[in-house]
Amino acid sequence: MWKYFTSQNTYTYLNVLQKLVQSYNNTYNSSIKRRPIEVNSENEREVWFTLYGKKSPPSTCVLNVGDIVRISNKKFTFEKGYETNFSEELFAVSECVKRSPSVYRIKDLLGEPVLGTFYLQELQKGDNKVIGRRVPPGFYETVPDILKGIALEEFRDKITFKFNESTKRVQIKVKGKARVILHDGLSQMLGFDPTEIVSNHPNIETVVESPLVADPWAHYRVLFLYTDIVEPQIVGDAFAPLLRIVNVTGSDGEMVCVQYDRPHYIPPSRKIIDTIEIVIRTHRVDVSLNDRIISSASNTYPYRAYLQTLLNYGEDAKKSLLSCEAFFKDDKPYQVDPVSEETCESLKKRYQLMANSRTLDMIGKLHCDVFQQNRLMLNLVDMKIKMIRSKPIFCLFSTNNSEYNVVLEHASLFVRKVKVSPDVSLGHAKALEKTSAKYPIYRVVCKTYSVPKGSLSFMQDNVFLGSMPKRLIITFVKNAAINGQY
């Protein structure tokens, strides 16, 4: 048929279909050893045995289930080339399908099956012992905790993980004929790209350090863009070539396009730019105190912050300084409608600041016991602060019972640092050899009690235990206000 298409320069065949069928029936067929027109009821048994009588036995499986293999990148293209023609990624044989010839199904080392089947010629068996190590389930607060979870005792002499506290980077040492395979999630936490670290020399040690800072919270929804063409900027307490901090929006798989209208001027590091390298890192700051809870956690923090602000500051501070954190003293009970003439002026001011979903910048202090004292923290004390947001239904009013949300676009913690003289540091070190550091802290405790509706009297035992409080403040709040109500 294709010869006819070529000679006549056309794909029309219906007018010659009968001639094509006659030509095929009168042409010798190597499979049945005769012309198709010669097949009849008398020799059909002979034709059947010619086609199917001699079945070749199925080939045996050369590879066994569980064998580690590589797959061909370019199937049979320049097969005898100088460079290897097989993938760097390792796979495991999951099934051998016995047919002529046998084919194999494979999966990656995390158990994800690879679509399709592969012939033996497309696979290369490896002689390595591969052990898949998943991080045991649990809460890992620091990078050393993660490294301890993935370490294997039997490979301690060949593979070691080390975390550098000063540079915040992970170092992997591979000795002898061994390899370490880091996949997406774990490699991102340890500061690596998804990679494979290989050592092929029995007496040479391969040392690889992560190019990026290790971060156990690598999936926070903020991106830090670093580039090699700008001068280092002040980022926290360090200098880094930071280009911009980008807020991550959208859902998984969604293409998001953001246009920045305001120019952001940063001095370049060189005059002539041939190449530009940009590194994107995700980051999450989870601040806490030397693995010991200092301030008690409670869901009454909003009331504590409000009462301390209301009672500890004068009128001048409330009208000037505290407006930076959107605090305006209430002069009358709330009316839900902020544009009503009868509503309080404080609600009107807050409404004007964030009307039409306007972004609002605020800055204020943390109302925790340890931050109310005037002593400086000692060096090398890990401070960790865990902040849990109140629900939007708690802090928002709505006229039509619609469900609105509060979106935090960015959060920063400003910490004052003081460089002390060497004599003071030496005195601290000598004092700490004899006793621990002690800070005078005034405890502020907020407790809630439920009063049944319609009660004329109420008694509560053990309101406080231990020391007598210096000041006792009693307030009444509606149940709907505590639980939240749009």
Q: HEC profile for 464-481?
A: CCCCCCCCCCCCCCCHHH
Query: Which stretches of 128-218 are assigned E, i.e. beta strand?
Result: 159-164, 169-175, 178-182, 195-199, 205-209
- Could you give the 3-state DSSP secondary structure of residue 165? coil
Query: In 10 A of CB 163, how many CB atoms?
Result: 19
The answer to whether residue 477 is domain-embedded is no
Judge if 376 and 413 occupy the same domain: yes
The answer to whether residue 337 is domain-embedded is no
Judge if 153 and 199 occupy the same domain: yes
Count of domains observed in the chain: 5
Question: 16 is in which domain, residue-wise?
Answer: 1-53
Token pair 């590194």: residue: 279
Judge if 303 and 426 occupy the same domain: yes
Judge if 394 and 296 occupy the same domain: yes
Render each residue's pLDDT in the chain as its tens digit; 486 residues.
778 888 888 888 888 888 888 888 999 988 888 899 999 988 888 888 888 776 666 678 888 888 888 887 654 444 554 445 666 667 888 999 888 788 899 987 667 888 888 888 888 876 555 555 666 666 667 788 888 877 777 677 778 888 888 778 888 888 776 777 776 677 777 888 765 565 556 667 778 888 777 877 665 556 667 777 888 877 655 667 777 777 666 665 567 777 777 777 778 777 777 666 665 544 333 335 555 556 655 678 888 888 888 888 888 888 888 888 888 887 776 555 655 666 678 888 888 888 888 888 889 888 888 888 888 888 777 777 777 777 777 777 776 666 778 888 888 888 888 888 888 888 888 888 888 888 888 888 888 888 888 888 888 887 877 778 888 888 888 877 776 665
Judge if 310 and 191 occupy the same domain: no
Judge if 274 and 316 occupy the same domain: no
Judge if 421 and 317 occupy the same domain: yes
Judge if 83 and 118 occupy the same domain: yes
Judge if 429 and 306 occupy the same domain: yes
The one-letter code for the residue type at 203 is N
Judge if 41 and 108 occupy the same domain: no
- Whether the CB-CB separation of 63 and 93 falls below 8 Å is answered with yes
The answer to whether residue 472 is domain-embedded is no
Q: Cβ neighbours of residue 305 under 8 Å, at least 6 residues apart?
A: 367
Judge if 368 and 430 occupy the same domain: yes
Helices vs strands, H then E, count in the chain: 11, 17
Judge if 73 and 168 occupy the same domain: no
293: tokens are 């809870």
Query: In 10 A of CB 47, how many CB atoms?
Result: 19
The answer to whether residue 474 is domain-embedded is no
Closest alpha carbon to 182 in 198, 158, 164: 198
